[in-house]
Structure formats: structure tokens, C-alpha cells
Amino acid sequence: MKKEDFKVYRKVLDEITIFGLWKLSNKQYFDILESIVKEGKESVVFSAKDKEGNWLAIKIYRIFHCDFKSMWKYLIADPRFLSTKKDRKSVIFNWCKREFRNMKIAYEKAKIFSPKPIAFFNNILIMEFIGKDGKPALRLSEVDDLENPDKLYKTSIEQVKKLFENRLVHGDLSAFNILYHDKKPFFIDFSQGVRDNHPLFLDFLKRDLKNLNSFFKKFTDIIPLENLYEEIVGDKYDV
Ligand SMILES: Nc1ncnc2c1ncn2[C@@H]1O[C@H](COP(=O)(O)OP(=O)(O)OP(=O)(O)O)[C@@H](O)[C@H]1O
Ligand SMILES: [Mg+2]
């Protein structure tokens, strides 16, 4: 894709992002942008394709729309990002880097259902597309005919456990950040994920489990939060 070709996105994308996309496409991480999958306040997700015609998802953090001051507070509480400078670009670039790193742990180490992270640069994250023929999978919150909610619930809990065993907690898990694809729960949106060196590691775990329970209780029998927490944490983090 040539630099001029990105100009059509001027309305939604700033110069820094256009430059980043151009760099990533030069490095062959993707070939063409297809369409906007979701435009949010802080990010825009595009569908794209690589040279072989594989679908990709490209998440772009909107540099000039993000509330970087509160993001900075969250970031510096994470020992991995303790020294992040308090300027807009540093914060957003590191936010994106954190999502990439967390997704890598989830996909490669914990081996849960999640998009495969492919590359990141500045405010841009390229990952595997979850969906079919360029049509994104529905969020769990949008599915009205969950086929086997009990199985989906158990798999989701199992995935939280696998992440935990790899010292990662998602940190923003809810029916909005799980895609329902091939009847399986794909976790996405890892930017708030923390490792076990974060002071709120166990609190975030509890919150994620609580969110899963409050969604699934409408569809199936759930396991009480205390039991789930005990089963996952056990005596691993005794204080
Ligand atoms: N890998 C993917 N494949 C298909 N669709 C995706 C993928 N990643 C994200 N999406 C779509 O884009 C939407 C927004 O993605 P995501 O939840 O990561 O961003 P966000 O909620 O804007 O992020 P944040 O909460 O960090 O601002 C998802 O709900 C989903 O519809
Ligand atoms: Mg989200």
C-alpha cells in the first residue's frame, strides 16, 4: 500500500498513525486496509488483509482522543511500565505495547483462545482476525442464542485459570471483551492486563471472575465467586 493510499483515512487517522501504517505495510505485516470494524472513543479497529489474503485486525489507539492522564496512572502502577513518561505519545505507545505483550502471553504461553498478536508499532497493533470472511465475530454480549452456555462458562473460567498460571490477569474481562467464534470464547482487549508483580493482581482477578459470573448467571448455573477464587488462587499467594 502506497503512502498516498492512506490519505483517504485522513478524516479518521492522524499523521503519526498514517506513518505507522505505512511502515507496517512496508514491512509486509499487512497489505491493504479493508474497512472499519469498530470505531470507539479511544480506538478504531480495522479489518485488513495480508499478501496471502489472510484477514487481520488492526487496532489503532487514537492518540489525540485518549485520556492519557488517567492511562498514565494505570500504566505506572504496572512495574513493567513504571518509568513511562507522562506525555501523550509515550503513554499511548506504551499502552499499545502492553496490550501486545499481554496478548502474546495469552496466545503463546497460556494458549487460550485469543487473537494471535502479529506486530505492533507506536499506537498500532496488528493481530489475527476473529471472524469469518471479514465479518467480525459477535461479542458475547450481543449473542442471543448461546448454544451451550455451561460449556462456554467453564471454558472461560478455564482460560482465566490458564492466564493466572502464566502470571497474567486480563483485568477488563466482560461479555464485551469476549468474542463468540466457532462456539468458543475468544478473549480480546488485553490492554489492562497485569502480571503478578502488580499490587492489584488478585483484585483484578476477582473482578474478572465476578464479571463472568454476572453475565453467565442469566444462562446457566454458576460457581460462587469465593469457590472460583479459591480454586484458582489456592494458597499460591498467601499473605
Ligand atoms: N482480533 C479481532 N478480530 C475481530 N474483531 C475484533 C478484533 N479485535 C477487536 N475486534 C472488534 O473491535 C471491537 C473493539 O476492540 P477492543 O475491545 O479491543 O477495543 P476497545 O474496547 O476500544 O479497547 P479499549 O477498551 O482498550 O479502548 C471489539 O469489540 C470487536 O468487535
Ligand atoms: Mg473492549
Residues known to be catalytic: 172, 189
Q: Exposure string (b/e) for 54-81, b if CB count within 10 Å is 16 or more?
A: ebbbbbbbbbeebebeebbebbbebebb
Q: Which own/partner pairs from 34-37 qualify as long-range (CB within 8 Å, at least 24 positions apart)?
A: 34/134, 35/134, 36/12, 37/136
The C-alpha cell of 189 is what?
482487549
% of the chain beyond a pLDDT of 70: 97
Return the ligand 1 atom nearest residue 127 CA.
1
**Mutation choice for ligand 1 from 70, 123, 189, CB with most ligand atoms inside 8 A:** 189
Decide if pLDDT at 239 tops 80.
Answer: no
**Cα–Cα distance, 114 to 104 (Å, whole number):** 9
- Cell numbers for 82: 513504571
CA of 61 to the centre of ligand 1 (A): 11
Residue 192: predicted pLDDT: 97
> First vs last Cα of the chain: how many Å apart?
54
Grid cell for residue 188: 480480546
Report residue 77 CA to chain centroid gap: 19
The mean pLDDT of the chain is 95
SS3 state of residue 108 = helix
Atom 13 of ligand 1, nearest CA residue: 38
pLDDT tier, 186 (very low <50, low <70, confident <90, very high otherwise): very high
Give the per-residue pLDDT at 113. Answer: 98
Residue entry with cell 503463546: 108
- Per-residue pLDDT tens digits for 36-70: 999 988 999 999 999 999 999 999 999 999 899 99
226's grid cell? 469465593
**For a pLDDT cut of 90, what percent of the chain falls above it?**
90
In angstroms, the CA 90 to CA 92 distance is 6
Domains of the chain: 3-135 (3.30.200.20), 137-233 (1.10.510.10)
Using the predicted structure, report yes or no on whether residue 7 has a pLDDT greater than 80. no
Distance CA 90, CA 36 (A): 25
What is the whole-number distance in angstroms between the Cα of residue 176 and the centre of ligand 2? Answer: 6
Predicted local confidence at residue 41, as pLDDT: 86
| pLDDT of 144 above 90 | no
Q: What is the DSSP string of 191-236?
A: TT-EETTSTTHHHHHHHHHHHHHHHHTTTS----HHHHHHHHHTTT
In angstroms, what is the span from residue 189 Cα to ligand 1's centroid?
Answer: 6
Q: Which atom of ligand 1 is nearest to the CA of 189?
A: 18
Which grid cell is 126? Answer: 496488528
Please name the residue whose Cα sits nearest to atom 18 of ligand 1.
189
pLDDT digits (tens, 9 = 90+) for 112-124: 999 999 999 999 9
Longest dimension (CA), the chain: 58
